Structure 1
């Protein structure tokens, strides 16, 4: 459905304004869709983001500060998210032997298994880009978004 129909607005001041409104609307739509999808796995989208980051670092760990820098949602409390994931056995904290204040977070096998289950289902059933955008269109969209951020 076109953005004008979605928000019941026929006219926009400029194509740039329309694009920004469309981007914000689509972001919120996708965020809600993804939150609904990820809920069945018993974690939040932010927790999945932490697991995804740590899975990319496996078998090495990184600090919560490094996790925070890499997170998609910069407003998330990385420390709190890590604590919750640790309680359910999806991540582990490793203290530095020389400096006990330095803590690295590592994804556990339980966490890696969850990431793989989510990715398998996401690719097969969920990802709305799979049947709506070609690979070339997705690459073009990504390039345009990169260009917009400058």
Structure 2
């Protein structure tokens, strides 16, 4: 990816800002790819993330706070995301029997089945997005990104 070519400049961009611009371009590219992969399932990236979080609960319900804490995008409106997943019958919301102020959210069988189809599409996208990198390069890239 040639940063200068993409942003159509003939000026040489200093290393640090060029690196950050490069990272932003990559984030946008990955985001666009993932959005396109999930579009046929009528699910946003954030909704997909909520479903994966709930599946990771292994049958135990989660509350909105737990979901919000584990979201990749902290800017997401978790209540709105859960409401949209409720409308699709991918999740269910119940009042906690021990504490009526607490709402418990669980993934449904329909949600798990839909997520399995999404997983296959996401795996293919992940493989395509990382096809030019070896496992060793991916490990090194993750080590570098951890420094941020």
TM-score w.r.t. the length of structure 1 is 0.90
Q: Deviations over 1:87-128 (max 9, x none)?
A: 21101112211211111111111111111111112223x223
| Equivalent residue number for residue 71 of structure 1 | 71
Structure 2: runs of 5+ lacking an equivalent: none
CA–CA separation in structure 2 for the residues paired with 1:2 and 1:111: 40
- Structure 1 runs of 4+ with >6 Å offset: none
| Equivalent residue number for residue 117 of structure 2 | 117
Give 1:130 shift: 3.7
| Equivalent residue number for residue 81 of structure 1 | 81
| Equivalent residue number for residue 53 of structure 1 | 53
Which of structures 1 and 2 has the larger relative contact order (alpha carbons within 8 angstroms, sep 6+)? 2
- CA-atom RMSD in angstroms: 1.4
Q: Count the aligned residue pairs.
A: 146
| Equivalent residue number for residue 103 of structure 1 | 103
CA–CA separation in structure 2 for the residues paired with 1:118 and 1:31: 15
CA–CA separation in structure 2 for the residues paired with 1:104 and 1:138: 37
CA–CA separation in structure 2 for the residues paired with 1:2 and 1:140: 21
| Equivalent residue number for residue 133 of structure 1 | 133
Structure 1: runs of 5+ lacking an equivalent: none
CA contact (8 A) 1:35 1:44 kept: yes
SS in 2 for 1:94: strand
